[in-house]
Amino acid sequence: MSSVLPSLDKTALRCDVDALIRDVAAKAVVPRFQNLADSDVRTKSGPGDLVTAADEEAEQLLHEGLVRLLPGSLVLGEEAAASDRSVLSHLAQPEPVWVIDPVDGTANFVAGYAAFAVVVALVEAGQTLMGWIHEPLEARTVWAGYDQGAWIGERRLILDSRTDSDLSAMAAAHYHRAFKSTLDAFANTRRSGSAAHEYWALAENRIQVSSFSRLKPWDHAAGVLVHTEAGGYSRMIDGALYNPADEQKCGILSAPSQKVWAMVRALADEDCI
């Protein structure tokens, strides 16, 4: 499948990237939590689209470190893409691409809420090969590798394939307006404001369903892999496989099984897709 991983020591790469992410988070992100100066925060495309000094420093440090770990690789960071959309074309290149979200949940970070994460994925030819989601405040990381499972330390995350298909007993995190009218079908709905936290919650069965319409690769590449490797079922709402390089507009839906996915998909408002 990949021209990169077979020639690498995958265990060493995983450990090196994990160490890099932890080091960057400890240096650039954690010291600024609940300690941002006014000059550390600015808007990008609009009032709700924020970037901080933590985002910018963390992305730069990750960029430099990841290229050292994998010479010849490219880097697609959220903040670089905000300044120059042409870097999105990296995903169409044959080289492996590091996809970075230096602070996923920036609005939470600015507000002083703990639901934020540092996210890194390694993508090649439209396939996410490895992904990391790191919680800086708790210094915890969930990691996944293609066909290698999803892990927190030595604990493998495994969703029960026999998950009850009663939606009224499930928690959902819907960010897609096609499911706005279906919220009463679930026991409760909750939104953390961080895609990384939603995917982690899915992989640990703390929530069972999520949907997103906004499909930036740094929001989903690592998370979809983590959820899938834990045994979950994530597909584009039209049924296609998720591809970080594909700017499909219909959105993505994640569930613990194909059966539950189909049940939730049947509830969607087609006029909103």
Residue 105 identity: G
Name the pTM for this structure.
0.95
Gap between the Cα atoms of 99 and 93, Å rounded = 13
Give the count of beta carbons closer than 10 Å to the beta carbon of residue 62.
26
**CATH fold group of domain 5-157:** Fructose-1,6-Bisphosphatase; Chain A, domain 1 (3.30.540)
Give the count of beta carbons closer than 10 Å to the beta carbon of residue 115.
19
Give the count of beta carbons closer than 10 Å to the beta carbon of residue 137.
13
pLDDT at 4: 59
Confirm whether 5-157 and 167-272 share one CATH topology: no
Taking only the tens place, the pLDDT of each residue in 216-241 is 999 999 999 999 999 999 999 999 99
pLDDT at 7: 66
pLDDT at 1: 46
Taking only the tens place, the pLDDT of each residue in 239-248 is 999 999 987 6
Q: Which residues of 172-197 are buried (b: 16+ CB within 10 A; e: fewer)?
A: bbbbbebbeebeebbeebeebbbbbb
**CATH fold group of domain 167-272:** D-Maltodextrin-Binding Protein; domain 2 (3.40.190)
Kindly list the domain boundaries of the chain, sorted by start residue: 5-157, 167-272
pLDDT tens string for the chain (273 positions)? 445 556 678 889 999 999 999 999 999 999 999 999 999 999 887 777 789 999 999 999 999 999 999 999 999 999 999 999 999 999 999 999 999 999 999 999 999 999 999 999 999 999 999 999 999 999 999 999 999 999 999 999 999 866 678 999 999 999 999 999 999 999 999 999 999 999 999 999 999 999 999 999 999 999 999 999 999 999 999 999 999 998 767 999 999 999 999 999 999 999 988
Which stretches of the chain are assigned E, i.e. beta strand?
41-43, 50-52, 74-77, 97-104, 117-124, 127-135, 140-145, 149-152, 155-157, 171-175, 188-189, 209-212, 233-236, 252-255
